[in-house]
Chains A and B, each alone.
Chain A
């Protein structure tokens, strides 16, 4: 008599997601370090405009999320990439799973991590506000808080999450390609630079990222791009051999 246990794809993916969340806890904790470094760099304002009127120079330092965000975006790329490295990919096969279930679990985990990263990045700005206001001797302009304009805040969080998701999707895709063939390590940067330098590539960039009528449209575009990259990753990983 054989006792074969049957697991559905859903069950396995659920177990894998729980397992991966546990596994990547350290990576999520590293996000905190990344944000703190970003915040330190933001201390003097991320952008400032100044002018001189009547011999008085006026400086307005804008403390926005940009620097933290660049760090977090890079982090997201690294995380997307890290999930595909051999030990992580192979350890899925020490447990129950198929390439599809692993990919789905990875994608779900990346989505969850992106949401966490987006929300914390948004909120990290408030830590800086409090520190600058309590310990800095400067005038400040009463700036909008979450509660002043909730809808706009949510849209801003949304666009951040979508951006992080897209970058992690790109990182993930890159990782899968490299797992398929090491040559992509060199090929992809070359390809990226080519796209950035050519006219049509720049037009594409402009179409996607610049000149959007509303944030909502941008969010939709970013999510669509993420889905495309994730779908490509699933296709590319489905034939990947393990422990060979």
Chain B
């Protein structure tokens, strides 16, 4: 426990204390009688119980929080893929991550890779050099698992788009957007015990682009997308 960590806590306590002070002086002025008190308390308890029941009947329009085992499995898949990707072991790529693949014939001897729409790279790129003498470049795009607070949001994140323009591979980041979720907890955040905390269940997957390029082609990677 750090001493500085106490400061925001003390701040909160101070604000709460102020609220108490005000509430106290206000309540002194109101002449609460016992009947009103009893009525208030029972009404409040009634509302609470009603809320519990109503909550059960609100249809679930959201995702479930995945459990620990599933989280570990997904995390493992991502790790395996990343390793294989870095080692150019195409055979080990998990086919479920594949988003799309195609071939493109280059006109010249250079391939320029351009990343736009974002100040930082939105995809990871790796190149496998082939012995082919032809002008064909093979492209595969992958997307690995993304988890936030135990929610699988993989399908909800739009991917970068890839376009060919005269020997240029243009990777455009999706338009800036926002995903907002509420997750309700029965527990005290401050008291979460052990290392199995839902808040920690996050996997930050990526978009991967795997190119097979003939050796004689010169690749210009201005934005440094290449993965080493």
Given A54-B159, A64-B189, A66-B190, check contact A140 B19 (CB 8 Å). Answer: no
| B102 on interface, CB distance cutoff 8 Å | no
CB distance from A166 to the nearest CB of B (A): 13
Residue of B whose beta carbon sits closest to that of A123: B48
Report the Cα distance A62→B49, complex, angstroms: 22
A49→B148 contact, CB < 8 A: yes
| A196 on interface, CB distance cutoff 8 Å | yes
Q: Specify the main secondary structure of chain A where it touches its partner.
A: helix
| A124 on interface, CB distance cutoff 8 Å | yes
| A180 on interface, CB distance cutoff 8 Å | no
B188→A69 contact, CB < 8 A: yes
- B222 CB contacts on chain A under 8 angstroms: none
Report the Cα distance A51→B32, complex, angstroms: 49
Contacts of A193-217 to chain B: CB distance below 8 A: 196-197, 202, 205-206, 210, 212, 214-215
Report the Cα distance A66→B185, complex, angstroms: 10
B49→A65 contact, CB < 8 A: no
Given A61-B182, A160-B188, A196-B6, check contact A147 B37 (CB 8 Å). Answer: no
B63→A142 contact, CB < 8 A: yes
- B20 CB contacts on chain A under 8 angstroms: 74-75, 78
6 smallest beta-carbon distances between A and B, as pairs: A64-B185, A123-B48, A143-B184, A126-B51, A25-B37, A140-B182
A–B Cβ pairs within 8 angstroms, 22 of them:
A25-B37, A25-B38, A29-B41, A34-B23, A49-B148, A56-B178, A56-B179, A57-B176, A60-B180, A61-B182, A62-B149, A66-B188, A120-B48, A126-B52, A130-B51, A130-B55, A138-B180, A140-B181, A141-B62, A160-B188, A202-B1, A205-B1
Known pairs A59-B179, A60-B180, A145-B55. 5 more at Cβ < 8 A?
A: A37-B19, A51-B204, A123-B51, A123-B52, A141-B149
| A58 on interface, CB distance cutoff 8 Å | yes
Of the 9-residue stretches B76-84, B133-141, B150-158, B210-218, which lies at the interface with chain A?
Answer: B150-158
B149→A54 contact, CB < 8 A: no
Report the Cα distance A130→B51, complex, angstroms: 6
B55→A126 contact, CB < 8 A: yes
| A30 on interface, CB distance cutoff 8 Å | yes
Residue of B whose beta carbon sits closest to that of A146: B52
Binding site for A on B (CB under 8 A): 1, 3, 6, 12-13, 16-17, 19-20, 23, 27, 32, 34, 36-38, 40-41, 44-45, 47-49, 51-52, 54-56, 58, 60-65, 117-118, 122, 146, 148-151, 153, 157-160, 173-191, 193, 199, 202, 204-205, 207
Report the Cα distance A218→B150, complex, angstroms: 26
Report the Cα distance A63→B190, complex, angstroms: 13
The total of interchain contacts (Cβ-Cβ below 8 angstroms) comes to 220
CB distance from A67 to the nearest CB of B (A): 8
Given A62-B189, A65-B187, check contact A74 B55 (CB 8 Å). Answer: no
- A13 CB contacts on chain B under 8 angstroms: none
B199→A47 contact, CB < 8 A: yes
Q: Specify the main secondary structure of chain B where it touches its partner.
A: mixed
- A156 CB contacts on chain B under 8 angstroms: 186-188
| A28 on interface, CB distance cutoff 8 Å | yes
A197→B3 contact, CB < 8 A: yes
Residue of B whose beta carbon sits closest to that of A64: B185
| A235 on interface, CB distance cutoff 8 Å | no
CB distance from A159 to the nearest CB of B (A): 7
Of the residues A37, A55, A64, contact of B177 by C-beta under 8 Å: A55
A32→B44 contact, CB < 8 A: yes
Given A54-B207, A56-B158, A120-B44, check contact A129 B149 (CB 8 Å). Answer: no
B180→A55 contact, CB < 8 A: no
CB distance from A109 to the nearest CB of B (A): 15
A58→B58 contact, CB < 8 A: no
| A241 on interface, CB distance cutoff 8 Å | no
CB distance from B186 to the nearest CB of A (A): 5
Report the Cα distance A149→B27, complex, angstroms: 39
A62→B185 contact, CB < 8 A: yes
Of the residues A26, A49, A147, contact of B199 by C-beta under 8 Å: A49
